[in-house]
Amino acid sequence: MPSTRRALVIEADGGSRGNPGVAGYGALVRDAISGRVLWEGAAPLGKESNNVAEYSGLIAGLKAVLRIDAGADVEARMDSKLVVEQMAGRWKIKHPDMRQLALEARDVAAQISAAGGSVSFTWIPREQNKDADALSNDGMDGRTIDRMLGDGDGDGDGDSDGDGDSDGDSDGDSDGGTDRDADGAAESVAEVVDELIDPDPGPAATGPWQGTPTRIVLVRHGVTDFTVASRLDGRGGSDPSLNTAGQAQAAAAGRAVAHLLGGSPARVVTSSLARARQTGAAVAEPIAVTPVVDADWDEQDFGDWDGASIPDLVRDHPGELTAMRADPAYTRPGGESHDQLAARVVAAFDRVVAAGGTTVVVCHRKPIMCVLTHVLGIPHDKVWRLAAAPGSLTALEVWPDGNVSVAFTNRS
């Protein structure tokens, strides 16, 4: 049966006068059937490279789709072979700036997928991308445009640089030939050739932030009836399964992870608890892998409080509840302390890092908190400021020298 979802087309581009040099991006969103432009945008980026500008244009177009129809089937068209192949997962991303932008673009694409839509990437010849190229010239000329022309939310209508030029025409050369100078073209070609002849970066290079990072995506399980009822649910409790809402969250997380990976290979590791294993199965299915269980990713064991109602504990045991939250050494009878939880989670995290590549870990709120406090050096009295909603994704990269980059947290 044909899809009943709306079909949209993104045309995106970016350029740099100097590469790196004065940079800007441009993008537009069309209705795929009528060809009518629904949104167009542009912005300056300061001193950046061509590829950073091109990724920025793609991200702007994807974010515009969220405003127009988040559940649409989207085709992103660009004349950058590098960006298209990297987003499709066929080429590796070696440069840190582009790696961060690619993660952001995949995150927005995952939001579209979670809303029921899809995103694909298509390379087009430069002469077929002239409208986006003209908008990127506007960006390089210092203009910021966020113009919704139809079927949008009405936010940001018109040209926002205050120069009164709201027709989208550029004062600069918009034939696509002058704003990417010879040096810039050579750099882009060199990057493309590098990806083609050396798709595997090989051994890690020396120095900070170099080499190939290990990528880790942390996924919190979907909700159970215990979650809804605000009951403590640790590794020593009754181990409830996902309820209907939790199953939907798990499926959405699976779609989001698949889009985030963009076809790149990954492992899936889950805690031993039912809700994590069920969510892990939903995450593993779209990427065609078999999950591996590691019980060190289990939730904290709350001992005699497993299954207890949190509102009842607030009423009847406020002092003990405060101690359990504030004191990392506090232990309930038959349970474990936060310090004991953190020790096993960090050990599991270190094993994932040592494995290299990309691993998706499906676990629980407190293990996710433990990882983030470990890599960011957050003190225990600030730990509860970290949110991890059911079904949400958190992504980070660990570099060979031990540097860590947290790409995003609590995205759903």
Give residue limits of the domains in the chain: 7-197, 214-411
For residues 364 and 220, the answer to whether their CB atoms sit within 8 Å is yes
Identified catalytic residue from 221, 259, 338, 364:
221
Confidence of residue 403 (pLDDT cuts 50, 70, 90): confident
For residues 209 and 403, the answer to whether their CB atoms sit within 8 Å is yes
Confidence of residue 210 (pLDDT cuts 50, 70, 90): low
pLDDT for 140 equals: 94
Q: Hey, what are 350's tokens? A: 């270190």
pLDDT for 209 equals: 52
Q: Which CATH class is domain 214-411?
A: alpha beta
For residues 14 and 24, the answer to whether their CB atoms sit within 8 Å is yes
**170 vs 289, higher pLDDT:** 289
In the predicted structure, residue 98 carries a pLDDT above the cut 90:
no
Most confident of 47-56, 174-183, 188-197: 47-56
Most confident of 154-163, 195-204, 339-348, 393-402: 339-348
Averaged pLDDT, 339-344? 97
Identified catalytic residue from 299, 336, 338, 397:
299
Please tell me the distance from the alpha carbon of residue 321 to that of residue 343, in angstroms, as a whole number: 22
Confidence of residue 114 (pLDDT cuts 50, 70, 90): confident
Which of 259-263, 354-358, 387-391, 394-398 comes out lowest in average pLDDT? 259-263
**382 vs 185, higher pLDDT:** 382
Most confident of 44-58, 250-264, 291-305: 291-305
Per-residue burial over 67-100, b if 16 or more Cβ lie within 10 Å, else e, is bbbbbbbbbbbbbbbbbbbbbebebbbbbeebbb
336 among known catalytic residues: no
380 among known catalytic residues: no
pLDDT for 208 equals: 52
Q: Given this chain, do its domains 7-197 and 214-411 carry the same CATH topology? A: no
pLDDT for 93 equals: 77
Confidence of residue 70 (pLDDT cuts 50, 70, 90): very high
Task: Give the Å distances, CA to CA, from 19 to 14, 49, 85, 94, 119.
Answer: 11, 5, 21, 18, 29
| CATH T-level fold of 7-197 | Nucleotidyltransferase; domain 5 (3.30.420)
**196 vs 310, higher pLDDT:** 310
Averaged pLDDT, 334-355? 96
Averaged pLDDT, 232-255? 95
Give the number of other Cβ atoms within 10 Å of residue 32's Cβ: 15
Percentage of the chain lying above the pLDDT 70 cut:
84
Confidence of residue 227 (pLDDT cuts 50, 70, 90): very high
**372 vs 159, higher pLDDT:** 372
Mean pLDDT rounded to a whole number for the chain: 85
Task: Give the Å distances, CA to CA, from 410 to 42, 223, 362, 370, 406.
Answer: 29, 15, 13, 14, 11
210 class by beta-carbon count within 10 Å (0-12 exposed, 13-18 middle, 19+ buried): middle
Percentage of the chain lying above the pLDDT 90 cut:
68
